Structure 1
Amino acid sequence: MRALLTSSGIKNNSIHDALVDLLGKPITESNALFIPTAVYPFPGGPGMAWQAISGKASSPLCELGWKSLGILELTALPSIEEAAWVPTVRDADALLVWGGDPLFLANWMRRSGLTGLLPTLRSEAVYVGVSAGSIAAAATFVETYTEPPRGIDGPLQSQEIVFATPQGDVDRILVTGQGAGLVDFAVIPHLEHPHHLDASLANAERWAARIPAPTYAIDDETAVKVVDGIVEVVSEGQWRLFQP
Structure 2
Amino acid sequence: MKFLLTSGGITNKSIHNALVDMLDKPIAESNALCIPTAMYGHPWVGPGVKTWEFISGKEENPMVNLGWKSVGVLELTALPSIDKDRWIPLVREIDVLLVSGGDALYLNHWMRESGLAELLTSLSAVYVGMSAGSMVMAPEIGEIFVGWTPPSGEDQTLGLVDFAMFPHLDHEMLPDNTMATAEKWAAGMQGPAYAIDDETAIKVIDGEVEVISEGHWKLFSP
- Does the TM-score normalized on the shorter chain lie above 0.5? yes
After superposition, give the CA deviation of every residue in 1:86-127 in whole Å (9 maximum; x if it has no partner). Answer: 1111111111110011111111111111111111212xx211
Report the Cα offset of residue 178 of structure 1: 1.6
Q: Distance in 2 between matches of 1:115 and 1:186?
A: 18
Report the Cα offset of residue 195 of structure 1: 1.0
Report the Cα offset of residue 4 of structure 1: 0.4
Question: Contact (CA 8 Å) 1:154, 1:178: kept in 2 or not?
Answer: no
Amino acid at match of 1:23: L
Which residue does the alignment assign to 1:112? Answer: 114
- Classify the secondary structure of the residue corresponding to 1:140: coil
Name which of 214, 217, 221 aligns with 1:236: 214
Query: What are the within-5 Å matches in structure 2 for residues 219-230 of structure 1?
Result: 219-230=197-208
Amino acid at match of 2:88: V
Question: Contact (CA 8 Å) 1:98, 1:129: kept in 2 or not?
Answer: yes
Rg larger in structure: 1
Q: Distance in 1 between matches of 2:5 and 2:182?
A: 17
**How much is the aligned-residue C-alpha RMSD, in angstroms?**
1.5
Runs of 4+ in structure 1 deviating by more than 3 angstroms, as ranges, are 147-150
Name which of 185, 188, 191 aligns with 1:210: 188
Which residue does the alignment assign to 2:31? Answer: 31
- TM-score w.r.t. the length of structure 2 is 0.94
- TM-score w.r.t. the length of structure 1 is 0.86
Q: Distance in 2 between matches of 1:191 and 1:31?
A: 31
Q: Which stretches in structure 1 are left out of the alignment for 5+ residues?
A: 157-176
Which residue does the alignment assign to 1:96? Answer: 98
Q: Distance in 2 between matches of 1:196 and 1:21?
A: 32
Q: Distance in 2 between matches of 1:149 and 1:226?
A: 27
Q: How many pairs does the alignment contain?
A: 220
Q: Distance in 2 between matches of 1:212 and 1:104?
A: 21
Which residue does the alignment assign to 1:76? Answer: 78
Question: Contact (CA 8 Å) 1:7, 1:221: kept in 2 or not?
Answer: yes
Which residue does the alignment assign to 1:172? Answer: none
After superposition, give the CA deviation of every residue in 1:38-88 in whole Å (9 maximum; x if it has no partner). Answer: 111325612111111222211100000111111000100111111111111
Q: Distance in 2 between matches of 1:26 and 1:59?
A: 20
Report the Cα offset of residue 136 of structure 1: 0.5
Which residue does the alignment assign to 2:175? Answer: 197
Which residue does the alignment assign to 1:126? Answer: 126
Q: Distance in 1 between matches of 2:51 and 2:143?
A: 21
Name which of 44, 56, 59 aligns with 1:54: 56
Of stretches 42-51 and 180-189 in structure 1, the one that deviates more from structure 2 is 42-51
Report the Cα offset of residue 154 of structure 1: 3.6
After superposition, give the CA deviation of every residue in 1:195-235 in whole Å (9 maximum; x if it has no partner). Answer: 11221101111111211121111000000011111111110
Q: Hey, which of these two has a bigger chunk of strand by percent? A: 1
Question: Contact (CA 8 Å) 1:155, 1:178: kept in 2 or not?
Answer: no
Q: Distance in 1 between matches of 2:210 and 2:85?
A: 35
Q: 1:119 and 1:213, CA in 2 relative to 1: closer, same or farther beyond 3 A?
A: same
- Classify the secondary structure of the residue corresponding to 2:141: strand
Report the Cα offset of residue 148 of structure 1: 6.0
Q: Distance in 2 between matches of 1:207 and 1:87?
A: 39
Question: Contact (CA 8 Å) 1:107, 1:154: kept in 2 or not?
Answer: no
Report the Cα offset of residue 153 of structure 1: 2.9
Q: Distance in 2 between matches of 1:44 and 1:210?
A: 27
Which residue does the alignment assign to 2:151? Answer: 153
Which residue does the alignment assign to 2:15? Answer: 15
Q: Which stretches in structure 2 are left out of the alignment for 5+ residues?
A: none
Q: Distance in 2 between matches of 1:2 and 1:44?
A: 27
Question: Contact (CA 8 Å) 1:191, 1:218: kept in 2 or not?
Answer: yes
